[in-house]
Structure 1
Amino acid sequence: MKKILVVVTNVSKYPELNRATGLWLGEAVHFVHEMKQEGYEIDYVSPKGGHTPLDPHSLQPDQMTDLDWAYYTNDEFLNQLSTTLAAKSIDPSEYEVIYYAGGHGVMWDFAEDQNLQNIASTIYKNGGVVSGVCHGVVGLLNIKDENGEHLINNKKVTGFANTEEVAVGLEKVVPFLTEDEIVRKGANYVKSDDWSEFAVADNRVVTGQNPASGAAVAREVIQLLQA
């Protein structure tokens, strides 16, 4: 059984704001937990390697479930997030799934990372699954398939909706809107109600809409792996 590669951000602060950002904890936790339940081994990677910061907003009591607290108080899990692998060091042949976790930090280090793009395109070419959730879906924007086309072109894809970005008041802060850019890359953007759990799978590309959707992405991925 090959491993699962979970991608997390290295960005700890909004470039133009005195406000912390980073990985949205639940988006890693709920995906990882589902995969571990099925016996899959998880590695964590970031563009630069090393520490991934946690978005403090994701640690607010109204955002944390019992499962989130269990992982947040687990030293082994936190140590893995503090010592992520560097994207340039990854051998894609070891993995059958890549999953891009979100948090606003990813808006500044996922989309243009060539090492991550190469990993994902190789996993896909080898018959694996490319997946992401919320803002993490921006990691899929520039992945190319074997024909040099955008991987998400003509596929159903979801991700953080424009209406959700407006609701959190950051639509003017992010370098681009996730929904708009998904459409610009040729994908068929689909969504459910704001903040509701929603994931979609299309030809081994699995995406989730928002922080509530990590487990839903995992369930779609598991279905593909076990087909």
Structure 2
Amino acid sequence: MSSLIDKAKSALSGHKKPKVLFVLTSHDKMGNTGNPTGWYLPEFAHPYYKLEGKADITIASPKGGEAPLDPSSVEMFKEDAESTKFLKEKESLWKNTEKLSNFLSKADEFDAVFYVGGHGPMFDLATDPESQKIISDFYEKGKVVSAVCHGPAALANVKLSDGSYLVSGQEVTGFTNTEEDQVGLSSAMPFLLETKLQENGGKFVKAEPWAAKVVASGKGNKLITGQNPASAGPIGEAILKAI
């Protein structure tokens, strides 16, 4: 009997957790405004807590090392319990990120990649060739490719091996032009995310400004995007379900 229990235990312990690569921006300046930017606190915290314990999570950024946290998101979400807990307990996650280029040709080792939002990705991840290669590789190998808020900027310009845009013909969402106007930052952006996703063939769908919206499309519904900070928890749940 005890040997049966031991076998069952070893079978269970041999069951590997799914692996998710979280990607943060390395960009810390908001266009030519001189104001700080970076990744957005709840858009890392909420998905992280949805997946913590259920998946092995690796954190990367284009430059590696410390990835800049947008200070405005700390202020904006100081009443949000998960965000404040994350800020207090998980600092090592964004202070010691791995270099994103280390994950080129490593899609087979993961089940999903997730791009955290914040205005930073509009300036670095939107045009990062290594990031784009990683995304197309993950997608073509049937892995989950996901992003929230401004995170889909990293997906907008990605081309697949046949030369077509990843988002072409797919339902996608992200931070809307209306939301960008409402925060008064449209003029500080290198492009408008909703417009860019549409230009590259994406079928942009959206909820009312600031309401949660998550869309799954693409091969096996594995292209998962979220509209805004309110979508951060729901996209974490969608990623968990997909893996």
TM over 0.5: yes
Corresponding residue number in structure 1 for 2:240: 222
User: C-alpha displacement at 1:41, in angstroms?
Assistant: 0.9
Q: 2:45 is aligned with what amino acid?
A: V
Question: Does 2:186 align with 1:168?
Answer: no
Question: Does 2:32 align with 1:16?
Answer: yes
Consecutive unaligned residues of structure 1, counting only runs of 5 or more, are none
Please tell me the root mean square deviation across aligned C-alpha atoms, in Å: 1.3
Deviations along 1:56-111, whole A, 9 cap, x unmatched? Answer: 1101155541111111100xx21120111111111332211111111111111011
* Distance 1:132-1:64 versus aligned 2 partners, 3 A rule: farther
Corresponding residue number in structure 2 for 1:81: 94
TM-score where L is the length of structure 2: 0.87
Consecutive unaligned residues of structure 2, counting only runs of 5 or more, are 1-16
Corresponding residue number in structure 2 for 1:95: 110
Q: How much identity, in percent, do the aligned residues show?
A: 35
Corresponding residue number in structure 2 for 1:49: 64
Matched residues, number: 222
Q: Is the 8 A contact 2:167 2:200 kept in 1?
A: yes
- Structure number with greater Rg is 2
* Distance 1:64-1:123 versus aligned 2 partners, 3 A rule: farther
Q: 2:30 is aligned with what amino acid?
A: Y
TM-score where L is the length of structure 1: 0.93
Deviations along 1:98-151, whole A, 9 cap, x unmatched? Answer: 111111111110111111111111111221110100111100012222422111
* Distance 1:198-1:148 versus aligned 2 partners, 3 A rule: same
Q: Is the 8 A contact 1:144 1:151 kept in 2?
A: yes
Deviations along 1:178-202, whole A, 9 cap, x unmatched? Answer: 0000100101000001011111100
Corresponding residue number in structure 2 for 1:211: 229
* Distance 1:190-1:35 versus aligned 2 partners, 3 A rule: same
* Distance 1:64-1:119 versus aligned 2 partners, 3 A rule: farther
Map residues 15-164 of structure 1 onto 2, 5 A cutoff.
15-37=31-53, 39-60=54-75, 62=77, 64-74=79-89, 77-90=90-103, 91-164=106-179
